[in-house]
Chain A
């Protein structure tokens, strides 16, 4: 029997609008020896089983503590979910917080959310419209255009996703510092710039934190255990000038 090339029925219509597959990057930074050894040690301890659904407590505590130190946010570790890279964090937040048929307001680069919103059936717009349900911003556009949008957000019920991953640097501002917005702000970040192959990211905060956790669980159950331990070691030992805008 020959391997099958084509399904006997049509694919789902949503597939047609998704981008072709991209090749992985050829060059990646070396991984520090202490991170490798942390991974090896975790495996030796038997960290090969499911972790808690939202991630290992130590990693979640680090994220909550960091958001407190860096931005003055009051995030409980229970509001943090470790994800398979920022890709999963973006997919979960976009598809659970934006509404099908609505618009997502994105004043900057929208390439990283385009696929998730296509699957959801939501549009991307770069200016305010009546049917906006979510504002997606990153530090790269924070100063230039986002202040005005966040002021407008105070008068709406928009969710706000603040994506720190891939940002060259992060100013000390954060939309969740605004008390009127804090419960509607989800922070996304990742270690993709330095540990891409380990698939580590996170989403933190907001009144939707438990719903987002359940959404992640429905896709991948939990994030790779050994990756979490390696990532935690990287975060604890990282130098402040590293590229990731954590």
Chain B
């Protein structure tokens, strides 16, 4: 199943098909040129930033608290993050172990710059969030894929991690809950993986940006909380997903103090401090009422059920989505390359989803669909996709 042989793929999509990030943006730009598209592509919550967070930002602005902060962030926010990560994630951290970043994406960029030398290998579960590829490439790092599969709900196996280790291995990157698979790495697996990492002296970079969005009966677990892991774990998180704050560009990192110092030195010449208004908003998010997080999780849980029902009707298989804002679905029953399928669903069904190849070269039979539209819109998206699939299904 190759895409290049298929005349249905337009040049603007074909030109960037080998670059997962650019492929996603090419499809988004195509969608932007069309009317009445249901966008189930980008991971941007449609829900509003909770009112008490916006109000805290307004207050800070009107009280003149918008001046430049230290590059590591507002002291009050660093303290609140440390407290949150101690209580929620079980991490043994103080404020000196924490810094504020311009979203989770920058946290990963800074961590890679501070840790990875040219030639270092970093183990990455496959499929992966390809937006991180650029940071690894720029540092001269080499990605080594660790396989995951649908039958295991895309959980990560310690044996698979260990099998990928070479003398050049320096770090393991985990995203849990996963973007794109919606799988989580369960506590039992993380305990086994931690043993492997200690045995081989690996650093763990763990992206937990979806950690507050985990569906019953599953639980989020932080590998950095395990004995012997604090000195080798860099934990990334952000306000973007749990509090619907993508546009504020505010995230954070917990790590050993010398890593925070190193990342801050890189940040000083990369972007400088995070926008101050966003930091006050982040402080309100962590210290204010948390009902909003629970309320949003309930909404996503309901949407997930609707979308999974739709996928059943579409004949798509999937691993159990245990967390995050996506469903990672097996579209092989269509017999159509995922990039072409995404294009057809966009052009003929006016539904934007992302092809699996945007998250790893080998995922030609998978698509990623977000939960980030209201239930009625998700239902409408399914109804739009069904006739397109019927038309083209092999």
Contacts and interface: CB of A to CB of B under 8 A. Distances in A.
Contact of A7 (B64, B105, B231): B231
Contact of B256 (A5, A195, A197, A225): A5
A214 interface: yes
Shortest 3 CB-CB distances between A and B: which pairs? A115-B269, A225-B247, A1-B92
A12 B116 contact: yes
Contact of B97 (A3, A11, A226): A3
Contact of A18 (B42, B97, B266): B266
Interface in B296-312: none
B113 interface: yes
Interface stretch (A28-36, A101-109, A131-139, A178-186): A28-36
B93 interface: yes
B153 interface: no
Contacts of B102: 84, 199, 219-220, 224
A84 B44 contact: no
A11 B114 contact: yes
Interface stretch (A46-54, A62-70, A142-150, A151-159): A46-54
A127 interface: no
A39 B203 CA distance: 41
A18 B259 CA distance: 13
Interface in A1-21: 1-9, 11-15, 18-21
Contact of B249 (A14, A36, A118, A220): A220
* Interface of B: prevailing SS: helix
A60 B268 CA distance: 25
Contacts of B64: 30-31
A218 B21 CA distance: 9
A31 B66 contact: yes
B139 A12 contact: yes
Interface string B169-183: 010000000000000
14 contacts: A5-B258, A7-B203, A20-B265, A24-B71, A28-B67, A40-B58, A47-B247, A48-B246, A95-B138, A119-B266, A221-B249, A224-B277, A225-B248, A227-B277
B22 interface: yes
Contacts of B274: 199
B134 A218 contact: yes
A43 interface: yes
A2 B275 CA distance: 31
A81 to B, nearest CB: 13
Contacts of A226: 57, 247-248, 275, 277-278
Interface string B240-262: 00001111110000011111011
B67 A196 contact: yes
A198 B269 contact: no
B373 interface: no
Interface in B45-76: 45, 48-49, 54, 57-58, 61-62, 64, 66-72
Contacts of A53: 25
